[in-house]
Amino acid sequence: MIDLAHYEAWFVTGSQHLYGEQTLRQVERQAREIAEALDKSADIPVRVVFKPVLTTADAIRSVCLEANAAPRCIGLIAWMHTFSPAKMWIAGLATLRKPFVHLHTQHNREIPWATLDMDFMNLNQSAHGDREFGFVNARMRLERKIVVGHWQDAAVTRALGIWARAAAAWADWQGMKIVRFGDNMRDVAVTEGDKVQAQITFGYDVYGYGVGDLARAVNEVSDAEVDRLVATYLDEYEVAPELRRGGERHDSLRYEARLELGLRHFLEAGGFKAFTDTFEDLHGLEQLPGLAVQRLMRDGYGFGAEGDWKTAALVRALKVMDTGINAGVSFMEDYTYHFGADGVDKVLGAHMLEVCPSIADPSAKPKLIIAPLSIGGKSDPVRLVFDAHPGTAVVASIVDVGQRFRMVANTIDVVPLDAPLPRLPVARALWVPRPNLRVAAAAWMYAGGAHHTALAYAVTPDHLRDFAAMAGVEFVLIDERTDLEVLRNQLRWSEAYYHMSRGFGG
């Protein structure tokens, strides 16, 4: 459902007429060569589209306006091959509404020591041409990413790829519709937030629907559709005997299939990319969707429990960034702790039901079971149970801190369970947060991070930093370099910075 190959990053090259037609033709040939190489790079998941070399303010403004209006264009990759006097860029950049990355590179890798002359120097002068461009970006206080290095270096293509994934997720959010079935879980604070400001800041819109609307879609599902989906379940998972055909709880499995199909139809018909539910609002539904939510997340939908639309949106964004890598992205919650006798403290993450099987350890077939919800008083939901695979990962949350939003992220190492958890009826991930639980949990709470998060393996703090920059929101990273006192001061300084830079506009 997510396709990054239909997105484009436009490669724009700055120059001027001072050098003459012959030099400009050479600039164009070399810029085209770089754009084509980036387009072919496996590190960059979107198309890189070459645009003619820009030498006038009108041409620059035109390409920026075109980029704004092109739905496939996720942003610009800008490079000043020669010297492009940057007052030419002001009108264009002032209108640009898409993200851009400033690629500071040079066509030629090494200095040709024996033959270097002034012609070569005048052609390969991004070393100062890009500084002129950088000045005007800084002067205009424009949010952008700067990538430095030779265009054939893996570090450069990787950095551009990270930016492109963040920009694709950002493009995906613009005009995105999220459906919220029921409301917020009563009395919970962090899942609340200013939905109008979220739409202004992030571009997505949260649509409230009654649970009865979903119940109607669920009831309209045909028995034949349910039969087919149940057959898929029996094939894909290790299904508990009581849920199989002839088993005493088989009707619950059929109802879960009905829930999945009803939800899926509702999301498709409404063009929704993410959704929330809450166990407090189930009127008309017999059970809280478990497996249904897990499978929809696996297919790329964002999800947040208890009405948590901010996390639903974030899970979706991380799904977009993970597309094609498929290392796994899930809704997650810090659930319980293990203060290890060996001094290594761990977090057991899980949720009541809704952990995405994209993070499951592929060596074991997920188990499909039925068990009570323990709270809520509805009938027992069917859910997939598995362990998350080990590896370095990140957990992230976006919170509304009043007048603005903040993204908080923590680098973690998902580790194997110390011992099996035979009586725990939910999917789970065990991790060691960096630098350690003592610092990470304190830092997380000083920053007001939520108990709900999006967990991802291939998405890195660099992706999240680029994404937060595109949104213009604060990014607080907790990792191996975190010092609590430095972080607390960072939060204080950021408070002042955002207050002064935004004024009354939010």
**Of 86 and 178, which CB lies nearer to Mn ion in the complex structure?**
178
Least distance (Å) from Mn ion to the CB of residue 452?
A: 6
DSSP string, 363-426: TSPPEEEE---SSS--PPPEEEE-BBPPEEEEEEEEEE-SSSEEEEEEEEEEE--SS--TT--S
**Of 75 and 307, which CB lies nearer to Mn ion in the complex structure?**
307
Residues from 61 through 100 that contact Mn ion (CB under 5 A): none
Q: Are 331 and 355 in contact (CB under 8 A)?
A: yes
**Of 132 and 400, which CB lies nearer to Mn ion in the complex structure?**
400
Cα–Cα distance between 383 and 314 in angstroms, integer? 23
Question: Shortest Cβ contact with Mn ion: which residue?
Answer: 305
**Of 16 and 330, which CB lies nearer to Mn ion in the complex structure?**
330
**Of 8 and 306, which CB lies nearer to Mn ion in the complex structure?**
306
Listed in order, strand segments (DSSP E) in 120-193 are 145-148, 177-181
Stretch (H or E) spanning 494: helix 484-502
Is position 288 an interface residue for Mn ion (rule: CB under 5 A)? no
Least distance (Å) from Mn ion to the CB of residue 401?
A: 20
Least distance (Å) from Mn ion to the CB of residue 262?
A: 22
Cα–Cα distance between 444 and 440 in angstroms, integer? 6
Binding segment (CB under 5 A) for Mn ion, from list 45-53, 108-116, 207-215, 298-306? 298-306
- Per 3-state DSSP, the chain is made up of helix, strand and coil in percentages (nearest 5) of 40, 25, 35
Q: Are 11 and 59 in contact (CB under 8 A)?
A: no
Least distance (Å) from Mn ion to the CB of residue 306?
A: 5
**Of 334 and 466, which CB lies nearer to Mn ion in the complex structure?**
334
Least distance (Å) from Mn ion to the CB of residue 351?
A: 6
| Count of residues of this chain found to bind Mn ion when the rule CB under 5 A is applied | 3
Binding segment (CB under 5 A) for Mn ion, from list 142-150, 170-178, 328-336, 441-449? 328-336
Residues forming beta bridges with residue 474, ordered by sequence position: 406
Cα–Cα nearest to 366, from 319, 422, 427: 427
Least distance (Å) from Mn ion to the CB of residue 188?
A: 8
Cα–Cα distance between 354 and 211 in angstroms, integer? 18
Q: Are 418 and 390 in contact (CB under 8 A)?
A: no
Least distance (Å) from Mn ion to the CB of residue 288?
A: 12
Binding segment (CB under 5 A) for Mn ion, from list 202-210, 325-333, 375-383, 437-445? 325-333
**Of 333 and 474, which CB lies nearer to Mn ion in the complex structure?**
333
Residues 304-323, mask of contacts with Mn ion (x by CB under 5 A)? -xx-----------------
Longest CA pairwise span in the chain (Å): 85
Q: Are 405 and 201 in contact (CB under 8 A)?
A: yes
Least distance (Å) from Mn ion to the CB of residue 269?
A: 27
Count CB-CB contacts under 10 A for residue 503.
7
Cα–Cα nearest to 303, from 311, 408, 427: 311
Binding segment (CB under 5 A) for Mn ion, from list 52-60, 74-82, 142-150, 327-335? 327-335
**Of 42 and 375, which CB lies nearer to Mn ion in the complex structure?**
375
Residues 333-372, mask of contacts with Mn ion (x by CB under 5 A)? x---------------------------------------
Q: What is the DSSP letter of 190?
A: T
**Of 63 and 352, which CB lies nearer to Mn ion in the complex structure?**
352
**Of 333 and 380, which CB lies nearer to Mn ion in the complex structure?**
333
Per DSSP, the chain holds a count of helices (H) and strands (E) of 15, 19
∠ CA(3), CA(304), CA(254), 5° rounding? 85
Judged by the rule CB under 5 A, the positions of this chain that interact with Mn ion are 305-306, 333
